[in-house]
Amino acid sequence: MLTKRIIPCLDIKNGRTVKGVNFVDIRDAGDPVELAAAYADQGADELTFLDITATIEHRKTMVELVRRVAKEINIPFTVGGGISSVGDVAALLKAGADKISINSAAVKRPELVEELAQEFGSQCVVVAIDTNFIDEEWTVFTHGGRTPTSINTFAWAKEVESRGAGEILLTSMTSDGTQAGFSLEITALLSENLGIPVIASGGAGTEEHFAEAFTKGKADAALAASVFHFGTIPIPQLKNYLSKKGIVVRL
């Protein structure tokens, strides 16, 4: 059985780690370099860094900050925000990223997924999907959850897989920051029907929520921010809990 992964997420705005509820009401959560080092020490399996306003502000991800974070950690490191070309990805990988995450740029031009997979390998390409339950359907949103599309989430996940994505980062806007639990139905739908890993994101509030993401949601990994940034659930404690539940994690 494959080991389930625990992934802290650093949402970055103006060089600081921030966290909101339902993608709004943003508050400061600390220095990203210090947090990254602490999470690596605590036993996080991977780290994700999302420059959440890069696309909105029409600029590239902060490469120098990525470089500073990469120097402090020894675990796989995914970076997203403002990425729209092969050149962008090359610069981030050179700065120390192991994988990149694309969202809005992939929706705008799906061929980008293929170009990046061909250039860097599928294992490097994470497609982030921000989804909200609107009119009885899970729908894709772009630009940090600000812009709705007419794209069905499941259909989009299948398409990006066919284009070479190596992993899906699925964030439920309905649950994000609420600490009320992951959106298990849509997570399970993707996990059961895709041949690539699905990372559950949005809504973690308790240790049980993580267990549900792996059991009911069938996710390969679970990503969270608030519960880690504000000390609600220490990573070693979470992993011990999951292990006792029979969920295979790296201790």
Domain of residue 103, residue span = 5-244
Domain count, the chain: 1
CATH number at residue 212: 3.20.20.70
| pLDDT attached to residue 114 | 98
| Residue with tokens 């705005």, as numbered in its chain | 13
The DSSP secondary-structure symbol of 3 reads P
| pLDDT attached to residue 2 | 84
The answer to whether position 249 is within a domain reads no
Q: Give the Cα separation of 78 and 143 in Å (integer).
A: 18
pTM above 0.85, yes or no: yes
The answer to whether position 251 is within a domain reads no
* 8 Å CB contact between 181 and 175: yes
Contacts of 45 (CB under 8 A, 6+ apart): 3, 5, 6, 7, 75, 76, 221, 249, 250
Give the burial class of 246: count Cβ atoms within 10 A of its Cβ; 0-12 exposed, 13-18 middle, 19 or more buried: exposed
The HSE-up count of residue 88 (CA atoms within 13 Å, CB side) is: 22
Catalytic residues: 11, 130
| Tens of pLDDT, residue by residue, the chain (251 residues) | 689 999 999 888 877 777 555 545 555 667 889 999 999 999 999 999 988 666 666 666 688 889 999 999 999 999 998 899 999 999 999 999 999 999 999 999 999 999 999 999 999 999 999 999 999 999 999 988 889 999 999 999 999 999 999 999 999 998 877 788 999 999 999 999 999 999 999 999 999 999 999 999 999 999 998 899 888 999 999 999 999 999 999 99
The answer to whether position 250 is within a domain reads no
| pLDDT attached to residue 140 | 98
| pLDDT attached to residue 54 | 65
